[in-house]
């Protein structure tokens, strides 16, 4: 359901594709069918990356000190939104399609402009800096990798295809997504249905 500022995703579900099959099938795919993803698919992908799985706030991906120094931004043809792991919803940040601007920021990579869904994995190292000091940026980057791989495997399990994009201008992506200070984009995960 979409309100003026928030999307609530359907509860995550459990599929039937074995983990080993998702590992074997995962491949970077850079061409997508035009079909949009459903809210259920988008929610499932975000949940795989950072969903809350315990009453105490534990998530699908491990986190140094359980301090969770990541934000996820989902970008579609209709809007951009920030994932809210606690409520399995998202806060809408703009009703504009940011994909073309992000493609330019990502060195004109067509996969970024074509994908019906982009998920920006964003590091917020200051969340862990009080505990881990200089190692905070390293831990945030490691956690971005955990979250990204979870999402890539979930995409396979949903019969979707994806590619992790690391080649982009950090400042430009941050500006397009209107990231607050201290938030640094680490990955753009381009996801869609396979082109037949």
Cα of 101 vs its chain's centroid, Å: 17
Residue placing its CB nearer to ligand FMN in the complex, 80 or 163: 163
The values of phi and psi at residue 82, to 5°, are -105, 125
Instruction: Answer yes or no whether residue 165 interacts with ligand FMN by CB under 6 A.
Output: yes
Q: Which residues contact 145 (CB under 8 A, 6 or more apart)?
A: none
Q: What is the sign, positive or negative, of the torsion defined by CA atoms of 33, 39, 43, 44?
A: negative
For helices 136-157 and 39-50, give the axis angle rounded to 10 degrees: 140
Instruction: Answer yes or no whether residue 96 interacts with ligand FMN by CB under 6 A.
Output: no
Instruction: Answer yes or no whether residue 13 interacts with ligand FMN by CB under 6 A.
Output: no
Total residues contacting ligand FMN by CB under 6 A comes to 9
Instruction: Answer yes or no whether residue 163 interacts with ligand FMN by CB under 6 A.
Output: yes
Instruction: Answer yes or no whether residue 30 interacts with ligand FMN by CB under 6 A.
Output: yes
Q: How far apart are CA 31 and CA 86, in angstroms?
A: 32
* In the complex, residue closest to ligand FMN by CB: 166
Binding mask 106-135 for ligand FMN (x = CB under 6 A): ---x--------------------------
Positions in the binding site for ligand FMN (CB under 6 A):
27-28, 30, 109, 163-167
């Amino acid at each position: 359901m979409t309100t003026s500022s928030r999307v609530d995703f359907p509860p995550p579900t459990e599929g039937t594709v074995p983990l080993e099959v998702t590992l074997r099938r995962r491949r970077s795919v850079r061409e997508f069918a035009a079909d949009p993803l459903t809210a259920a698919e988008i929610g499932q992908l975000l949940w795989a990356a950072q969903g809350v799985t315990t009453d105490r706030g534990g998530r699908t991906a491990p986190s140094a000190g359980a301090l969770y120094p990541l934000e996820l931004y989902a970008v579609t043809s209709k809007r951009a939104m920030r994932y809210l792991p606690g409520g399995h919803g998202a806060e809408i940040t703009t009703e504009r399609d940011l994909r073309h601007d992000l493609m330019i920021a990502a060195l004109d990579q067509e996969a970024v402009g074509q994908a019906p869904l982009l998920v920006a994995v964003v590091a917020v190292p200051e969340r862990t800096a009080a505990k881990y000091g200089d190692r905070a940026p390293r831990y945030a980057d490691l956690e971005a990798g955990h979250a990204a791989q979870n999402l890539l495997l979930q995409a396979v399990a949903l019969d979707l295809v994806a590619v992790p994009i690391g080649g982009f201008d950090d400042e430009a992506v941050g500006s397009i997504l209107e990231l607050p200070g201290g938030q640094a984009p680490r990955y753009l995960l381009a996801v869609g249905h396979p082109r037949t």
